[in-house]
Amino acid sequence: MSNASDLIKEPASLLIFGASGDLTARKLMPALFQLSRDGFLPQSCPIIGVARRTKTDDEFRAEMKQAVNEFSRTDHITDDEWATFSARLYYIETDITQQADYENLKQHVREIEVEADIKPNRVVYMATAPKLFLPAIENMSAEGMIPGRDDDHWLRIVFEKPFGTDLKSAQELTAHLSRLLTEDQIYRIDHYLGKETVQNILLFRCGNAIFEPLLNRNHVDHIQITVAEDQGMERGRGALYDASGAMRDVLQNHVLQLLCLIAMEPPALFRANDIRDEKLKVLQALKPAGTEIDEWAFRGQYVAGTHQGESTLPYREEDRVGDQSETETYVSMKVNVDNWRWAGVPFYLRTGKRLPQRVTEIAVQFKHPPLNLFTTVECDGDMCQMVEAQPNTLIFRIQPKESISLRVGTKRPGMQYQIHPVMMDFEYEDSFTFELPEAYERLLLDVLRGDSTLFTRSDELEAAWQFVTPVLEHWQNDGSGPLPYAGGSWGPDKAMELMTNDGREWRVPSPPK
């Protein structure tokens, strides 16, 4: 439930461009419904769907009701709750590529705002194909819908990813947009930053005295970041995915943001720009961990396999994927963060589709104790076997079953001095009774409150593209194609060598209990 400090100070209307799309139905509308239900969204904030198809407000409301029922985290939505929420939903038919449609859009939005008795403060959410970003903003500008600094009302535009497809295109998009918008009007979303457990990385580091002094090259052996998904190309996702691949879809944004949060220096103040300055420094310090790209970056594509006993299709036979597609569905890489804190500590990153389970985690593996005085055993009941000494590992489990765990060695009770590795676990569901909010709830509320802390700044975005673009170019030109891996496996064998060649191993994340 909301506190006074959480609330939106100035009501605004929220326009969703691309309101007929999947994102609106699956993520945006359920999040807005939840915000409204939990008292975060003033009743005077209209939500206006904008898209090309012809439909009435009531038809739009009916579609959104179905979507919210299907995708909301609230199990049972009462008629009253729906009536309260849907009273603020509107639909305006607009071809956002056609300048002529904007006069009607502007006028109609204003009528809704007058009716709600609010100023023309607006959030425009670009839930559209990226190629429509620029035409939409140009058309809004031509119609006088972009307020200047001296106006008494504001506009904030949220851009869904991908923001560009490489360094050059991201820079061009930023340059074009900056002719029409100021940076503080632009909110580039990376929904990972809205996840409760992702925000907790920084709070855990800076809100406890005992861990932060250990997070550096003196104590840490290496860090592994995994964003694994067991899903393939269900629900026609192949069409979009085939044009991007794992690097652009997840590594360039979600994985690098996780890396920033675990590697950055604590900011002097917990303010948007201080945090983003520190993240930027991490991205600028990113260096390949090898001379040749093929030594430190691997890509794979899944072939037929099995998942939970069911056979799975090869990527190339998935719905809306080219049968000769060379798109990577898996990426792993070893990178360095060349600064005083992290010099010499490798960061191993991996992400992929059709892996054995859906799991996102950061594992910080500490160095072994300087001297091994004891034998280490792992026991199942009374049956124990000697194993290699296990280093301490701090694991941030971002999803599912959000938790933070620390592996420590403890004496196995008995007549001998034997170490047994055990886990100290904090699980959200044991300590907090309330459900974790969805990422989009937090992010939509932040845009309405004008807080850009959890959004990506243009220099951060460009630094991330700068790092991955040479790899993408190399893959595009080298002609070798992605390495095959069986659906339901942890990726191509060759990619495992990234770790085994260093005498290390990828963690096998424990499946949810």
Q: SS3 of 269, please?
A: coil
Those residues with Cβ within 8 angstroms of residue 314's Cβ, 6 or more apart along the chain or in another chain: 302, 303, 304, 487
Residue 22 near ligand BG6 by CB under 6 A: no
Report which of 98, 96, 90 is spatially closest to residue 114, judged by C-alpha positions: 90
To the nearest whole angstrom, how small is the minimum distance from the Cβ of residue 35 to ligand BG6? 18
Active-site position among 191, 222, 254, 420: 254
Is residue 254 among the annotated active site residues?
A: yes
The smaller minimum CB distance to ligand BG6, of residues 249 and 460, is found at 249
Are 279 and 272 spatial neighbours (Cβ–Cβ below 8 Å)?
no
Report which of 394, 404, 395 is spatially closest to residue 428, judged by C-alpha positions: 404
To the nearest whole angstrom, how small is the minimum distance from the Cβ of residue 244 to ligand BG6? 8
Side chain identity at residue 348, one-letter code: Y
Are 215 and 205 spatial neighbours (Cβ–Cβ below 8 Å)?
yes
CA atoms within 13 A on the CB side of 247: 29
Binding map of ligand BG6 across residues 443-472, x = CB under 6 A, - = no contact: ------------------------------
The only residue of 249, 328, 441, 446 in contact with ligand BG6, by rule CB under 6 A: 249
Q: What is the number of other CB atoms lying within 10 angstroms of the CB of residue 171?
A: 16
Report the DSSP pairing between strands 310-312 and 305-307: antiparallel
Those residues with Cβ within 8 angstroms of residue 424's Cβ, 6 or more apart along the chain or in another chain: 405, 406, 407, 408
At residue 13, what are phi and psi to the nearest 5 degrees? -95, 150
Residue 229 near ligand BG6 by CB under 6 A: yes
The smaller minimum CB distance to ligand BG6, of residues 13 and 257, is found at 257
Provide the phi-psi class of 220: left if phi over 0, else alpha when psi is between -120 and 50, else beta.
beta
The smaller minimum CB distance to ligand BG6, of residues 249 and 446, is found at 249
Binding map of ligand BG6 across residues 189-228, x = CB under 6 A, - = no contact: ----------------------------------------
Opening angle at CA 331, ends 330 and 334, nearest 5: 155
The smaller minimum CB distance to ligand BG6, of residues 229 and 295, is found at 229
To the nearest whole angstrom, how small is the minimum distance from the Cβ of residue 438 to ligand BG6? 9
The smaller minimum CB distance to ligand BG6, of residues 249 and 441, is found at 249
To the nearest whole angstrom, how small is the minimum distance from the Cβ of residue 190 to ligand BG6? 8
Q: How far is CA 20 from CA 134, 191, 381, 424, in A?
A: 19, 20, 56, 46
Provide the phi-psi class of 320: left if phi over 0, else alpha when psi is between -120 and 50, else beta.
left
Rounded distance, CA 284 to CA 235, Å?
37
- Residue 306's beta-bridge partner residues? 311
Residue 138 near ligand BG6 by CB under 6 A: no
Nearest position to ligand BG6, beta carbon = 249
Find the binding residues for ligand BG6 in span 250-289 (CB under 6 A): 250
Find the binding residues for ligand BG6 in span 50-79 (CB under 6 A): none
The smaller minimum CB distance to ligand BG6, of residues 186 and 250, is found at 250
Find the binding residues for ligand BG6 in span 345-384 (CB under 6 A): 360
What residue has token string 């056979």? Answer: 311
To the nearest whole angstrom, how small is the minimum distance from the Cβ of residue 412 to ligand BG6? 37
To the nearest whole angstrom, how small is the minimum distance from the Cβ of residue 353 to ligand BG6? 7
**Binding residues for ligand BG6, total number by CB under 6 A:** 4
Binding map of ligand BG6 across residues 309-348, x = CB under 6 A, - = no contact: ----------------------------------------
Find the binding residues for ligand BG6 in span 381-420 (CB under 6 A): none
Are 412 and 377 spatial neighbours (Cβ–Cβ below 8 Å)?
yes
To the nearest whole angstrom, how small is the minimum distance from the Cβ of residue 437 to ligand BG6? 13
The smaller minimum CB distance to ligand BG6, of residues 215 and 250, is found at 250
* Interface contacts to ligand BG6, rule CB under 6 A: 229, 249-250, 360
Active-site positions read 254
